[in-house]
Amino acid sequence: MFFNINILSLMLGFFFANILSTIPAQTGDWNIISGSVIVTFNEIVNKCVYSKNNIRNSILIKLVNNIKIGIVYGLFVDAFKLGS
């Protein structure tokens, strides 16, 4: 059961990456702000996941970490699509 939820959260992050890379870039004014929001979210999740506390075993933290990994993966795929 948890394997399916983990895969689903990865795909949700990939979907969010497509949203984050297309919608704010329509005007061209929001590129820096959306990039800073993504980096801030990434660092906050990294702090929660990789801290020395024992909250790493929480299912919610694992799901948010999988969404973060999906966002980063989706942004890399979009960058490769734009580069080719």
Please report the pLDDT score of residue 51 as a whole number: 81
- Read off the pLDDT of residues 32-80 as tens digits, 9 standing for 90 and up: 887 888 899 999 988 888 887 766 568 888 899 899 999 999 989 988 8
Q: What is the pTM of this model?
A: 0.81
Please report the pLDDT score of residue 56 as a whole number: 59
Angle of the 59-83 helix axis to the 2-22 helix axis, nearest 10: 40
CA 57 to chain centroid: 19
Please report the pLDDT score of residue 1 as a whole number: 61
Question: Residue 61: which residues within 8 A CB-CB, separation 6 or more?
Answer: 48, 49, 55
Give the structural domain span for 55. 2-83
Number of domains within the chain? 1
